[in-house]
Amino acid sequence: MTILEIALASQIWARRHEKRQPEFDESDGLKILQRTAFAFVAFTLLIAGLNLAAGRPQMLADHSAPVVARR
């Protein structure tokens, strides 16, 4: 079997054996919001940490853009 056939067979098997979830609850929306906020904060902290480790904290307005300065 090729990898594609194995993946397709695995997907079919998983769908046959999955349990149906109940309808969308209000708590599901809160969980999604919390996970999104956590991911955003974690990604922001990761980028800030990498910038600090590289020794170049990122500033939004360090200097004017070269295109704007030439005008």
- Domain for residue 31, yes or no? yes
> Does a structural domain hold residue 67?
no
Domain count, the chain: 1
Flag whether 48 is in a domain.
yes
Q: Provide the phi-psi class of 31: left if phi over 0, else alpha when psi is between -120 and 50, else beta.
A: alpha
22 falls within a domain = yes
* Closest C-alpha among 43, 46, 24 to residue 35: 43
**Containing structural domain, residue 28:** 3-54
DSSP state of 63: S
Q: What is the pTM of this model?
A: 0.46
pLDDT in tens, 33-71: 999 999 999 999 998 888 888 877 666 655 665 655 555
